[in-house]
Amino acid sequence: MFGLETIEVLMLVLAAVIVGFSKAGIQGATIPAVAMLALIFGGKESAGIMLPMLIVGDLVAIFKYGKQGNIRDVVKLMPSAIVGIVLGSMIGNRMNDQQFKFILGIIVLICLLLLVVRHFQKQVVELPDNRLLHWLVGVVSGFSSMVGNASGPIFNVYILAQNLKKESMIGTTAWFFFLMNLLKVPFHIFSWGTITMDNMKYTLFSVPFIGIGALIGIWIIRHISETTYKYVIMVMTAITAIRLLL
C-alpha cells in the first residue's frame, strides 16, 4: 500500500493513533510518532507528512475542549511564535540538528527540574506576566516546532505553570498548536517542499486512526485525576527531553 512495506503501514497507523491520543489526551506523547515517521520517510519529509496529521488532531481537540481553552494566553504567544517559525524556516536546513536537539533537551530538563522542585515544595508555580517571557516561550516554541517538532515540552512546562484545569490545559494547548501548525504550512509547501499533493495521501489514510487515538485519549482524561494528569505530563516531558539528548 502506497509503496510501503506492511510493517511501515502498521507504523503509520500506530503513529496516527498516537497523534490523536496526544492531541485529545496526554499532551507531549507525540515523540514516538515523530520517530516512527522519521524511520519510514526520513527526517525532513516526515515533518511535512506529520504536519497535516497534527492539524487534524488539533481540530479534534478543539472540538472537544476548545471552549475551555485560555485564548488570552494563546494570543500573547502567537506573534513571537511566528518569529520563531520564520527563523526556523530560514536556518533549519543549515543547522546541525543533533546540536540543536541537545541544547533544547538541556533547556527542557532545567525547566522541568524547576517545575518539579516547586511542585513538591507545595508552592503554586506561577510564571510572571512578563512580555519578555511570553516572547521567549513563543519564539522557542515556534522555532523548535518548525525545525525539530520538539516544541511540546517547552509549551508543557509553560502551560503547567498556569495552574489550569486539565480540560483548560488541553483546550489552550490545542488552540496554540492549531494556529502555529497552520502558519507552518506555507513554509513546508513553498520553502521546504515537504507537503505535496502526493504525500497528502498519507494524511487522508491516517484520519480514521487519528480519530480512534483521540477517543482513547478522551476516555483516559475522564478517568484520571488532575494530579495524576499533571504527573503524566511531567513524565512525558522528561522522556521527550531525554529523547532530544540522545
Q: Is residue 205 part of a domain?
A: yes
pLDDT of residue 12 exceeding 70, the answer is yes
Backbone angles phi, psi at 115, to 5 degrees: -65, -45
Q: Is residue 60 part of a domain?
A: yes
Nearest to 176 by CA among 142, 215, 211, 221: 142
Task: Summarize pLDDT for 82-91 with one digit per residue, the tens.
Answer: 999 999 888 7
- Total of domains in the chain: 1
> H-type helices in the chain, by residue range?
6-24, 31-41, 43-65, 71-91, 97-120, 131-148, 152-160, 166-186, 200-222, 226-245
Q: Average pLDDT, whole number, for the chain?
A: 82
Q: Is residue 1 part of a domain?
A: no
Nearest to 28 by CA among 246, 209, 225, 230: 230
161 with 125: CB under 8 angstroms?
Answer: yes
pLDDT of residue 123 exceeding 60, the answer is no
How open is the CA angle 17-20-26, to the nearest 5 degrees? 105
Q: Global pTM? A: 0.82
Q: Choose between 99 and 123: higher pLDDT.
A: 99
Q: Is residue 169 part of a domain?
A: yes
pLDDT of residue 43 exceeding 80, the answer is no
- State how far Cα 9 lies from the chain centre: 23
- In this prediction, residues 15-37 reach a mean pLDDT of 82
| DSSP annotation string for 110-174 | HHHHHHHHHHHTT--------HHHHHHHHHHHHHHHHHHS--HHHHHHHHHTTT--HHHHHHHHH
Query: What is the rounded CA–CA span in Å between residue 117 and residue 69?
Result: 27
pLDDT of residue 44 exceeding 70, the answer is yes
How open is the CA angle 161-166-171, to the nearest 5 degrees? 95
pLDDT at 146: 87
Q: Is residue 220 part of a domain?
A: yes
pLDDT at 244: 66
236 with 43: CB under 8 angstroms?
Answer: no
Q: Determine the structural domain holding residue 143 and report its residue range.
A: 6-245
Percentage of the residues of the chain whose pLDDT score is greater than 90: 31
Q: Is residue 26 part of a domain?
A: yes
pLDDT at 51: 93
Q: Is residue 110 part of a domain?
A: yes
Q: Is residue 167 part of a domain?
A: yes
Phi-psi region of 122 (alpha: psi -120 to 50; beta: other; left: phi over 0): left
pLDDT at 182: 95
pLDDT of residue 122 exceeding 60, the answer is no
pLDDT of residue 63 exceeding 70, the answer is yes
Task: Summarize pLDDT for 128-179 with one digit per residue, the tens.
Answer: 566 787 788 899 889 888 876 667 777 877 887 777 787 888 899 999 999 9
Query: What is the rounded CA–CA span in Å between residue 114 and residue 17?
Result: 32
Burial class from Cβ neighbours inside 10 Å (0-12, 13-18, 19+) for residue 112 reads buried
Nearest to 183 by CA among 107, 89, 82, 65: 82
Residues 6 or more apart whose Cβ sits within 8 Å of residue 116 = 234
